[in-house]
Structure 1
Amino acid sequence: MDNHTKSFSSLLISLWFTALLILVEMVSCARQHRRSFLAKEADLVTNLPGQPDVSFKHYAGYVPVDKSNGRALFYWFFEAMDLPKEKPLVLWLNGGPGCSSVGYGATQEIGPFLADTNEKGLIFNPYAWNKEVNMLFLESPVGVGFSYSNTSSDYLNLDDHFAKKDAYTFLCNWFEKFPEHKGNEFYIAGESYAGIYVPELAELVYDNNEKNNDLSLHINLKGFLLGNPDISNPDDWRGWVDYAWSHAVISDETHRNINRLCNFSSDDVWNNDKCNEAIAEVDKQYNEIDIYSLYTSACKGDSAKSSYFASAQFKTNYHISSKRMPPRRLAGYDPCLDDYVKVYYNRADVQKALHASDGVNLKNWSICNMEIFHNWTYVVQSVLPIYQKLIAGGLRIWVYSGDTDGCIPVLGTRYSLNALGLPIKTAWRPWYHEKQVSGWVQEYDGLTFATFRGAGHTVPSFKPSSSLAFISAFVKGVPLSSSRVETN
């Protein structure tokens, strides 16, 4: 055999092997795609009791985050009402720590199905955020809602970093189940103690994107959005006290005593017994009203009677134990809505439809897990360094505040954001929706801060239409309306 013939034979063999490798890869990809499709379709929700008729699909179920410990997080995903493969994906987290994103975000605020006050089913939300984006609600960490671990020690080790790592693992595994959304623009949003969860998770995603050259591991993170968030302990607590005083909840004398006895420049504000005694007067006055919505009626139903927040233990131990208040809302158009949500998610047929149980062994679902709240280890005192890092990294960051929330008030948020020292890009101005002032907004170099006029702690439940306009502007990266005149 001459050299020419040998070369030709070698080329044919090489081409044959290349074709074989391509075929193997195609078969492997096809199998992986089929596994993803089957796993996703197994989570399709088809018979949710009381659900309004809709044209979009939604999925619910579990994603494992630690197979050796038997740890899995529960999610509920709503495709966008149109063009879901093109629309951005938003992950929503509620805080607490220990409160359910399904019970709050999905069913009381921004999901397409809201709790019906007749305690029998759901009603359609005309201002659902999946009009603009794909919405993914996550119950995090384990022990919240339907999320669980088969290893009891996991529940004793919960802290800010534990939650962050599990949420990241969840995302990676969720994208394997829903690969068609891997390339979508991705945003993380949340409220209250998610003010810690969200920047922590965003930083982890950002860092891993920077480290990994493998595009298959890349998550297309573009920014995050936070409402009435915990940001920085000293500024948040100082704002909490000043807001109570400026809104006539406490007296001048109480305010003076607190400022004299409490060191708000320290991360450990409550290590002073005299300070705790002065702060107790703020709690005493807030116990008379709804701290989450100063100007609406408090719940008089079962939630008010049985709630930990109404107990003597809460009133005595809240600040002394340095615990934070979870984002529990007992106000709004129906201040007892938590009761309706609890009834609905404890129905066996509802849990079965959501793939959260077999419909026989009914779980005791609660909107907030108080054991998690009591035992939480607060590792992070401030996320301002993360803000600085991710602003420098080019992520879009918007923060908003309902201005009638006394729990994490607008004043504390302003103190925290002012500590960043960002240059002002656009001066403080009103922003409009439906020809009315929805609130005020200030654009900094790298961050936008806005208020919602007359909204409490869970802003979308108070201002649903304005909130939908807000998320639309955020994902499009356009300024909030500066005119009463509406433009198409």
Structure 2
Amino acid sequence: MIHQTIYNVSIALCLCTLFAFVFSDSPEAMRDLVTDLPGQSGVRFRHYAGYVPVDKKHGRAMFYWFFEAMSLPNQKPLVLWLNGGRPGCSSVGYGATQEIGPFLVDNKGNSLQFNPYAWNHEANILFLESPVGVGFSYSNTSSDYKKIGDEFTARDAYSFIQNWLERFPAYRENNFYIAGESYAGKYIPELAEVVYDKNNENSSLHIKLKGILLGNPETSEAEDWDGWVDYAWSHAVISDEMYGVIKRNCNFSSKTTWDVKECKDNVDEVVKQYHKIDQYSLYTPTCNGNSTPSSSLDSTRFRTNLRNSKMMPRMMGGYDPCLDDYTKVFYNRADVQKALHASDGIHLKNWSICNDDIFDNWTDSKPSVLPIYKKLIAGGFRIWVYSGDTDGRVPVLGTRYCINKLALPIKTSWTPWYHEKQVSGWLQEYEGLTFGTFKGAGHDVPSFKPSESLAFFSAFLKGVLPALSP
């Protein structure tokens, strides 16, 4: 049973009445209203789900799930949340129902529980399954799936935002932020750059982008790889000897480093060690189920991808190591798909939390988005980055190496930040960027530290540092 947040009922009903009026001129929006989600009890905010076309000629459409803010949605910002994956993983499956959404999947996919730390306390939250081929998003042109890469994804996401705002015009004037984690560390700056450039070209389609928030983000290939190796050694996952061989033979700044046998073979040995535990969360158990993504990725396939791609391969995990299985069950239910307007409830879509074919066919990935960081900083946008410090896949060390490459002046030196009178992590404020850590959190930080992450998110939106004293 979903626990209800405490509201003033009369005010909430007034808000619902107000927004029914606001959206009365958008029949498409009202058709997307979710009214009978299985497992949901009465909440005082509206949520919508469905498809938005991004390319009618090719038949591309992207699936979204949108939650109004719990109060004053007309005044609070609009936040687009993106998950990454290898790439190829679902923001609905991860962000919406494992991390920051108001309804978290529970009990092996058979029920929901209310999330008291949902981010729609502070903002209107829009989850997007991106690119097409992920989750319920699709293209009717099969060749599209052979063209997907960073630029393709950014263009489609921008088209989605513009078309979504046509369906929900009341949010056109709300401040807009983009947030997410993992490979979205590439998606988010690239999309922000497109929005920035398009805003300068066409004022009538202006999107009020104010900033970006990135969690355990893939950022710059060389620094991310160096941090991955250093973290594995510093956390006793690999031996001194293996570490020494990698440091002597791998130059992750070089395009030919994977041609060096001693480098590739020993990096593969690191992967084998990580197969024994949850790389995304070093100190929690692994799932004992039979179909979890972390157990299905064999080292032979990993080596093939490693040789043929400059992208960092992906192995999934999480705080409850079986949550991926639960979400797969939930989103493949006929009643759930019908309630979310993903299918008619009869001809069901085959939903998966990650699509390996997306990664296998990825056509382009920028080696570094740090030049985009510089461009956005110069444009005056707010940039916050955070890391769960027990994540081995995109570890805090790599992110620190990336930020150090920017050589930004320091405004607030490395210091603890607090939540409920306890140290929640450490942070450093630079000119143009704020970096924070979450003590004891794995890759999907809100799953591990829900209350702390909500406080951090609130501080980000306000543009003030979280508490620096108890």
- Which TM-score bucket, shorter chain as reference? over 0.9
Task: Report Cα offsets for 1:37-93 as digits up to 9, x if no partner.
Answer: 211001000001111321100000011000011100000000000000000010000
1:345 aligns with 2:335: no
Aligned positions of 1:329-408 closer than 5 A: 329=317, 331-332=318-319, 334-408=320-394
Give distance in 1, aligned partners of 2:293 and 2:23: 51
Shift of 1:269: 3.7
Which residue number in structure 1 is paired with residue 260 of structure 2? 272
| Cα shift at 1:451 | 0.3
How far, CA to CA, are the matches of 2:143 and 2:281 in structure 1? 37
Tell me, in whole angstroms, the C-alpha distance in 2 between the residues paired with 1:266 and 1:36: 55
Give the match for residue 31 of structure 2: 42
Give the match's secondary structure for 1:250: coil
- Are the equivalent residues in 2 in contact too, given 1:52–1:122 (CA < 8 A)? no
Q: If the length of structure 1 is used for normalisation, what is the TM-score?
A: 0.89
For these two proteins, the number of residue pairs brought into alignment is 447
Show the counterpart of 1:106.
96
Structure 1 residues 239 and 141 mapped into 2: Cα distance closer, same or farther (>3 Å)? same
Which one of 240, 244, 248 corresponds to residue 256 of structure 1?
A: 244
Whole-Å separation in 2 of the counterparts to 1:307 and 1:406: 16
Find the residue that maps to 1:419 and give its secondary structure: helix
Q: Equivalent residue for 1:132?
A: 122
SS at match of 1:90: strand
Paired position in structure 1 for 2:10: none
- Mapping for residues 49-448 of structure 1, pairs under 5 Å: 49-96=38-85, 97-212=87-202, 214=203, 216-267=204-255, 269-304=257-292, 307-309=295-297, 311-322=298-309, 323-326=311-314, 328-329=316-317, 331-332=318-319, 334-448=320-434
Instruction: Quickly say closer, same or farther: Cα 1:315–1:149, change in 2 above 3 A.
Output: closer
| Distance in 2 of aligned mates of 1:435 and 1:34 | 42
Q: Which amino acid aligns with 1:352?
A: K
Give 3-state SS (helix, strand or coil) of 1:301's partner. Answer: coil
For the residue of structure 1 that corresponds to 2:306, the secondary structure is: coil
Query: Does the Cα contact within 8 Å between 1:108 and 1:461 map onto a contact in 2?
Result: yes
Q: Is the 8 A contact 2:33 2:49 kept in 1?
A: yes
CA contact (8 A) 1:80 1:133 kept: yes
Note the aligned Cα RMSD (angstroms).
1.5
Deviation readout 1:16-57 (Å, 9 max, x if unpaired)? xxxxxxxxxxxxxxxxx9885211001000001111321100
Of 467, 471, 474, which residue of structure 1 is paired with 2:457?
471
User: Which letter maps to 1:274?
Assistant: E
Partner-residue secondary structure (3-state), 1:49: coil
> What are structure 1's unaligned runs of at least 5 residues?
1-32
Aligned residue for 1:10? none
CA offsets 1:179-214 (integer angstroms, 9 cap, x no match): 1111111000010000000000000001111222x3
Structure label with greater radius of gyration: 1
SS of the equivalent of 1:103 reads helix
Which amino acid counterpart does residue 382 of structure 2 have in structure 1?
R
C-alpha change, 1:288 and 1:360, in structure 2 (3 Å) is same
Letter in 2 for 1:208: K
Cα shift readout 1:355-392 (whole Å, capped 9, x = no counterpart): 00011111110000011111112331100000000001
CA–CA distance in structure 1, aligned partners of residues 293 and 279 of structure 2: 16
Identity fraction in percent:
67
Quote the Cα distance in structure 2 between the aligned partners of 1:280 and 1:416. 23
Q: Assess, with a 3 A threshold, how the Cα gap between structure 1 residues 269 and 122 changes in structure 2: closer, same or farther.
A: farther
- Paired residues of 1:423 and 1:444 also in contact (CA < 8 A): yes
> CA separation in 2, counterparts of 1:35 and 1:53?
22
**Secondary structure in 2 matching 1:62:** strand
Q: In 2, are the aligned partners of 1:39 and 1:177 still within 8 Å (CA)?
A: yes
Instruction: Give the C-alpha shift of residue 312 in structure 1.
Output: 4.4
With over 3 angstroms needed to count, the CA separation of the structure-2 counterparts of 1:245 and 1:36, relative to structure 1, is: farther
Q: Aligned partners of 2:403 and 2:230: how far apart in 1?
A: 16
**CA deviations over 1:234-255 (Å, ceiling 9, x no partner):** 0000000001011111111111
- Alpha-carbon separation, structure 1, partners of 2:230 and 2:415: 23
Q: TM-score, normalised by structure 2?
A: 0.93
On the 8 A contact 2:49/2:65 being kept in 1, the answer is yes
